[in-house]
Chain A
Amino acid sequence: MVTISGVNKHFGELHALKDIELSVDDGEVVVLIGPSGSGKSTLCRTINRLEIVDSGSITVNGSPLPAEGRALANLRADVGMVFQHFNLFAHLTVLQNITLGPIKVRRTPRAQANERARQLLERVGLADKADAYPAQLSGGQQQRVAIARGLAMDPKLMMFDEPTSALDPEMINEVLDVMQDLAREGMTMVVVTHEMGFARRAANRVVFMADGQIVEIAPPDEFFDDPKTARAQDFLSKVMSH
Chain B
Amino acid sequence: MFDNFDSMSEALLEGMWTTVWVTLASFVIALAIGMVLLVMHVSPAPPARWAANAYTQLFRNVPLLAILIIMFFGLPAIGIRADNWVWALVGLGMYTGALVGETLRSGINSIPLGQAEAARSLGLTFGQSLGSVILPQSIRVVIPPLGSLLIALVKNSALVSAIGVAELTARSRRLIEDTESRYDLWGVIIGVTVGYLLIALVFSYLVRIAEKRTAFVR
A contact residues vs B (CB 8 Å cutoff) = 48, 50, 68, 70, 73-81, 83, 85, 87-91, 100-101, 104-105, 133, 135-136, 146, 149, 153
A76 / chain B contacts, CB cutoff of 8 Å: 120-123
Interface residues on chain B, number (Cβ under 8 Å): 22
State whether B122 touches A133 (Cβ < 8 A): no
**In the complex, which residues of chain A have a beta carbon less than 8 angstroms from the beta carbon of B217?**
133, 135-136
B136 contacts A48, C-beta separation under 8 Å: no
Docked-complex contact A89 and B115, CB < 8 angstroms: yes
Interchain CB contact (< 8 A) of B118 among A77, A79, A89, A136: A89
| Interface flag for B132 (CB, 8 Å) | yes
Q: Tell yes or no: B177 within 8 A of A by CB.
A: no
Expressed in whole angstroms, the Cα–Cα distance for A96 and B136 within the complex equals 14
Q: Residue on B with the closest CB to A136?
A: B217
What are 26 contact pairs spanning A and B, CB under 8 A? A48-B121, A76-B120, A77-B122, A79-B121, A81-B117, A83-B118, A87-B114, A87-B117, A89-B118, A89-B133, A91-B216, A100-B119, A100-B122, A100-B132, A100-B133, A101-B123, A104-B124, A105-B122, A105-B123, A105-B124, A133-B216, A133-B217, A133-B218, A135-B217, A135-B218, A153-B122
| Total of A-B residue pairs, C-beta within 8 Å | 74
Residues in B with CB closer than 8 Å to A149 are: 122
Specify which chain B residues have a CB less than 8 angstroms from the CB of A73 in the assembled complex: 120, 123-125
Beyond known contacts A73-B124, A77-B122, A101-B124: 17 more, CB 8 A cutoff? A48-B121, A50-B120, A68-B126, A76-B122, A83-B114, A85-B114, A87-B112, A100-B124, A100-B132, A100-B133, A104-B124, A104-B128, A105-B123, A105-B128, A135-B217, A136-B217, A153-B122
Q: Does B137 sit at the interface, judged by CB under 8 A?
A: yes
Choose from B117, B132, B218 the contact partner of A90 (Cβ within 8 Å): B218
Q: Which residues 95-131 in B have Cβ within 8 Å of A in the complex?
A: 112, 114-115, 117-126, 128
Chain B, interface SS category: helix
Contacts of B128 in A (CB 8 A): 104-105
B128-151 with Cβ < 8 A to chain A: 128, 132-133, 136-137, 140
Chain B residue at minimal CB-CB distance from A78: B123
- A146 vs B115: C-alpha distance when bound (angstroms): 12
Q: How far is the CA of A197 from the CA of B160 in the complex (A)?
A: 72
> Which residues of A lie under 8 Å from residue B218 when comparing CB positions?
90, 133, 135
Known contacts A83-B114, A89-B115: does B125 contact A70 (CB below 8 Å)? yes
In the complex formed, the residue of A with least CB distance to B138 is A91
State A71–B90 Cα separation when bound (angstroms).
43
**Contact yes or no, B114 A81, CB < 8 A:** no
Q: Given A104-B124, A133-B216 in contact, is the A87-B136 Cβ separation under 8 Å?
A: no
> Are A89 and B216 neighbours in the complex by a CB distance under 8 Å?
no
For B113, give the chain A residue with the smallest CB separation: A87
Whether A91 contacts B137 by the Cβ 8 Å rule is: yes
Q: Which of B115, B119, B122, B124 has the most CB of A within 10 A?
A: B122
A152 to B216, CA, bound (A): 24
Chain A residues within an 8 Å CB radius of B121? 48, 50, 76, 79-81
B124 proximity list for chain A (CB < 8 A) = 73, 100-101, 104-105
